[in-house]
Amino acid sequence: MSEELGMTVKKSEKFMDWYYEVLQKAEVVDIRFKAKGFDVYLPTAMRTIREMERLFAEELDAKGHLPVMFPIIIPESNLKTEEEHIKGFAREVFWITHAGANKLEEKFALRPTSETAMYPMYSLWLRSHLQLPMKFYQSGRVWRYETKMTRPLLRPREFRWFETHCAFKTDVDVIKQIEQDMDIFKKIVNDSFCIPFLMIKRTQWDKFPGAEDTYAFETVMPDGKVLQIGTTHDLGQKFAKVFDVKYLDEDGKKKYVYQTCYGPGITRMLGAIVCIHGDDKGLIIPPAIAPVQVVIVPIYTGNTKTEVMKKAGELLGSLAEKDFRVDLDYREQYTPGFKFHEWELKGVPVRIEIGPKDIEKGVVTIVRRDFRERIQVPEEKLEEHLLEVMDSISAQLLKRANERMKIEDAKDLKELKEDLKKGGFVRIEFCGEEKCAEKFKDDTGAEVRGTLFGNETKAKGKCAICGKKAKEVAYVGEGY
């Protein structure tokens, strides 16, 4: 890559053009696969996803969830068992109807979500209250026939996610699990991915099919649109009753379990990371999930090559031993400048430059990706400085992202429409009626997304949309 082959579109001028360019040039995804909505995930994406999924797996393991792997196909009879569920997903299901030349007696759905695959097995496994809570998770891919405009990572037809499926004795346990889901999301997505979000309780007409309540994790993108990056659902006892998921309680009575499911959207979160943190030079990947946290670029002339490469190798070994994800760019066919641009494009948080003068002084040069600031540090204090720099990068990325989390307050329809032009969320008093929200969506394209989880603020005035008496404080935004 030469400098002119780097980014050519400015993020602030043509955001979506910039997005497609950075996906291609930073080797995130290739959209040229000949099936709409199905993209090829390239090394930058997959290596980052591996780190993202590792953090979720570690946190879920620590909270008592156990890993499982279910088939990607769901028999039609399973999917149809819960009427509200199949009605909600009917238009999005990919069906398998043939095996070779033979038509199947019963067609199979490619997994759009796993409730109807997993809960019939729960009914076989669960017998006693001593087995509760039952908390399983799996990672993998799901398939939904997205009927809106598809966009790589943000709105594809095949995507990666984590999903947990839990069973409890009481509805109180359900609320505790939902609160824990939020805590996990904050620890990983906010603190490690540097993506701020709101946890929104969805309206009853926009909840997960079959759920009692749905809670969505939503962030604001650079173009002002709102992106849902995960959900958690209170399933109550609906699925338990349909699939006969019971247990024998302490008194010897059979009871239905209460259930939750939780879906951090790995693919969408990667899209948010690309969009929110990237700049006109390419990606900026938060240090916690960067496939390469530190890249070493040796700088030498013919007679200093041996000395410089030896020192670079020593740094590589030393940092790897201290658990940094580190790479040494030893390619001779490219200039240092070429390498600088390529690693900046791919979003590596920290670059180390080492040359003969650095060796002579006993220092190394650190370049941070976010500010592109260059500092010289003593070699013996390299680890300490790298940790400080990476913490600082994470803090700065989160600070920048928080500045984009706009929340405006609107008292009436005129203010609401004006505030929506600014992007982000608009907070309003709302009547709580579906017809009001649907008419507003038809007129503006924006949605009443729901109320803030855990917020006890009560409405006191009139609905900002229709003028009727307000029942709740809701958040409005235009989504993807």
Residue carrying structure tokens 């609401």: 416
Residue where a domain stops, chosen among 354, 389, 424: 389
Q: What is the mean pLDDT of residues 230-255?
A: 97
Chain center to CA of 102: 39
For 421, residues 6+ apart whose C-beta sits below 8 A from its C-beta are none
Is there a single domain that holds both residue 80 and residue 183? Answer: yes
233: pLDDT strictly greater than 50: yes
pLDDT of residue 85: 81
Is there a single domain that holds both residue 344 and residue 213? Answer: no
Half-sphere exposure of 267 (CA within 13 A, CB side): 24
Q: What is the mean pLDDT of the chain?
A: 95
pTM for the structure as a whole: 0.95
Q: pLDDT band for position 4 (50/70/90)?
A: low
Q: What is the mean pLDDT of residues 305-331?
A: 97
Is there a single domain that holds both residue 162 and residue 13? Answer: yes
Burial group, residue 464, by CB count within 10 angstroms (0-12, 13-18, 19+): buried
Is there a single domain that holds both residue 229 and residue 260? Answer: yes
Q: What is the mean pLDDT of residues 256-262?
A: 98
Reported as a single tens digit per residue, the pLDDT across 183-199 is 999 999 999 999 999 99
| 206-240: burial string, b at 16+ Cβ within 10 Å, e else | ebbbbbbbbbbbbbbbbebbbbbbbbbbbbbbbbb
46: pLDDT strictly greater than 60: yes
Q: pLDDT band for position 53 (50/70/90)?
A: very high
Is there a single domain that holds both residue 421 and residue 322? Answer: no
Q: What is the mean pLDDT of residues 220-249?
A: 97
pLDDT of residue 327: 98
For 301, residues 6+ apart whose C-beta sits below 8 A from its C-beta are 356
Q: Is residue 287 part of a domain?
A: no
Burial group, residue 97, by CB count within 10 angstroms (0-12, 13-18, 19+): exposed
Burial group, residue 254, by CB count within 10 angstroms (0-12, 13-18, 19+): exposed
Is there a single domain that holds both residue 143 and residue 8? Answer: yes
CATH, residue 416:
3.30.110.30
Is there a single domain that holds both residue 255 and residue 155? Answer: yes
CATH, residue 304:
3.40.50.800
Residue where a domain stops, chosen among 326, 358, 389: 389
Q: Is residue 435 part of a domain?
A: yes
Contact in structure between 364 and 353 (CB atoms under 8 Å): yes
Q: What is the mean pLDDT of residues 8-32?
A: 97
Q: pLDDT band for position 2 (50/70/90)?
A: very low
Q: Is residue 37 part of a domain?
A: yes
pLDDT of residue 1: 38
Reported as a single tens digit per residue, the pLDDT across 95-153 is 999 999 999 999 999 999 999 999 999 999 999 999 999 999 999 999 999 887 899 99
Reported as a single tens digit per residue, the pLDDT across 268-281 is 999 999 999 999 99
456: pLDDT strictly greater than 80: no
pLDDT of residue 146: 86
Task: Lowest mean pLDDT of 61-75, 81-95, 245-259, name the range.
Answer: 81-95
Q: Is residue 400 part of a domain?
A: no
CATH, residue 56:
3.30.930.10
pLDDT of residue 149: 84
Is there a single domain that holds both residue 384 and residue 416? Answer: no
Distance CA 28, CA 283 (A): 10
pLDDT of residue 3: 43
Q: Is residue 187 part of a domain?
A: yes
Is there a single domain that holds both residue 339 and residue 459? Answer: no
Instruction: Tell me the backbone φ, ψ of residue 224, rounded to 5 degrees.
Output: 90, -10
Q: Per the structure block, which two tokens stand in for 165?
A: 């499926």
Q: What is the mean pLDDT of residues 283-288?
A: 98
Distance CA 22, CA 27 (A): 8
Q: Is residue 86 part of a domain?
A: yes
Is there a single domain that holds both residue 98 and residue 217? Answer: yes
Chain center to CA of 24: 20
Q: Provide the number of structural domains found in the chain.
A: 3
Contact in structure between 388 and 203 (CB atoms under 8 Å): no
Is there a single domain that holds both residue 361 and residue 439? Answer: no
| Whole-number Cα distances in Å, 199 to 124, 218, 232 | 34, 6, 10
For 58, residues 6+ apart whose C-beta sits below 8 A from its C-beta are none
Q: What is the mean pLDDT of residues 348-371?
A: 97
437: pLDDT strictly greater than 80: yes
Q: Per residue, what are the HEC states of the chain?
A: CCHHHCCCCCCCCCHHHHHHHHHHHCCCEECCCCCCCCCEECHHHHHHHHHHHHHHHHHHHHCCCEECCCCCEEEHHHHHHCHHHHHHHHHHCCEEEEECCEEEEEEEEECCCCHHHHHHHHHHHCCEHHHCCEEEEEEEEEECCCCCCCECCCECCEEEEEEEEEEECCHHHHHHHHHHHHHHHHHHHHCCCCCCCEEEECCHHHCCCCCCEEEEEEEECCCCCEEEEEEEEEEECHHHHHHCCEEECCCCCEEECEEEEEEECHHHHHHHHHHHHCECCECCCCCCCCCCCEEEEECCCHHHHHHHHHHHHHHHHHHHHCCCCEEECCCCCCCHHHHHHHHHHCCCCEEEEECHHHHHHCEEEEEECCCCCEEEEEHHHHHHHHHHHHHHHHHHHHHHHHHHCCEEECCCHHHHHHHHCCCCEEEEEECCCHHHHHHHHHHHCCEEEEEECCCCCCCCCECCCCCCECCEEEEEECEC
Q: What is the mean pLDDT of residues 233-249?
A: 97
Give the dihedral sign, CA 9/11/12/14.
positive
440: pLDDT strictly greater than 80: yes
Q: Is residue 21 part of a domain?
A: yes
Q: In angstroms, how far is the first alpha carbon of the chain from the final one?
A: 33
Residue 419 belongs to what domain range?
407-477
Residue where a domain stops, chosen among 277, 302, 323: 277
Is there a single domain that holds both residue 339 and residue 269? Answer: no
Q: Is residue 396 part of a domain?
A: no
Reported as a single tens digit per residue, the pLDDT across 212-226 is 999 999 999 999 999
